[in-house]
């Protein structure tokens, strides 16, 4: 897959880009079905709130799979596919090394919102231009079922203060005045496509109001030059002995 100069320019200007058809729809569907199997099995075994979505009438549904890379070979092969790594490299300018991953489920008419945030508020890595996220769509994603929403250009403006959200200890968010909604853009993407964004780009997703799933496979990458002030890199996948080298 060839990335155009126009796409690189958009990423550099806005801090995010959608690249369609990185994977086929059938490949994405295989991962979506495996994610459903794994998340439903975990739902029977966990009471951790950050992995579960709750409806108003007390029902529960899977919210998130943590570190799917470690849970099934099919996930490992998918996120380390050379097509994905080549796309990331085009915007990165360096070899991307996989740190961690999650699958966000967002079940139909159920999946909860994720507040505006910058990924590096959690990761605390530097240099920031060497921190990038590739969010793989496992379903067709639009505003109705909870697409990513970006504040254009915030990757150029530094880290804004984030505070924990009361009652949602797994979430942090900036204050409302630090989120300029006049610059908000929607990251609509087809199944098998990828949203790529910089570690400082403010982004969010709304509740899934549709009758469709909105599953997204979030993968987080750094370069070999990245260091970290906290524990983010301690269990990075690229440090494993079985991690493939280019």
Domains with residue ranges and CATH for the chain: 5-239 (2.60.120.620)
Q: Alpha helices, DSSP H only, in 111-196?
A: 120-123
**pLDDT score, position 49:** 62
pLDDT in tens, 32-63: 999 999 998 888 886 666 677 766 677 777 78
- Flag residues of the chain having pLDDT under 70: 46-50, 54-56, 246
Distance from CA of residue 210 to its chain's centroid?
20
**pLDDT score, position 43:** 84
Counting DSSP H helices and E strands in the chain, the numbers are 5, 16
Q: In 85-127, which ranges are E strands?
A: 97-104, 114-117, 125-126
């Amino acid at each position: 897959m060839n990335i155009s100069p126009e796409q690189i320019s958009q990423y550099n200007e806005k801090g995010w880009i959608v690249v369609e058809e990185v994977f086929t729809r059938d490949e994405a569907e295989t991962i979506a079905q495996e994610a459903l199997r794994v998340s439903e099995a975990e739902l029977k075994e966990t009471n951790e709130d950050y992995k579960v979505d709750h409806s108003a009438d007390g029902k529960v549904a899977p919210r998130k799979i943590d570190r799917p890379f470690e849970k099934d070979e099919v996930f490992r092969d998918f996120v380390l596919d050379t097509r994905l790594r080549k796309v990331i490299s085009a915007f990165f300018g360096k070899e991307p090394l996989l740190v961690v991953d999650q699958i966000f489920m967002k079940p139909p008419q159920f999946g909860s919102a994720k507040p505006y945030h910058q990924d590096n508020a959690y990761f605390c890595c530097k240099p920031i231009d060497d921190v990038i996220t590739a969010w793989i769509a496992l379903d067709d994603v639009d505003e109705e079922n909870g697409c990513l929403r970006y504040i254009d250009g915030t990757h150029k403006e530094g880290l804004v203060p984030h505070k924990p959200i009361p009652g949602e200890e797994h979430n942090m968010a900036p204050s409302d005045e630090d989120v300029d909604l006049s610059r908000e853009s929607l990251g609509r993407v087809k199944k098998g496509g990828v949203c790529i964004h910089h570690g400082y780009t403010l982004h969010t997703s709304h509740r899934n109001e549709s009758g469709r799933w909105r599953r997204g496979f979030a993968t987080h990458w750094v370069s070999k030059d990245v260091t970290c002030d906290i524990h983010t890199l301690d269990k990075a996948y690229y440090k494993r002995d079985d991690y493939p080298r280019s």
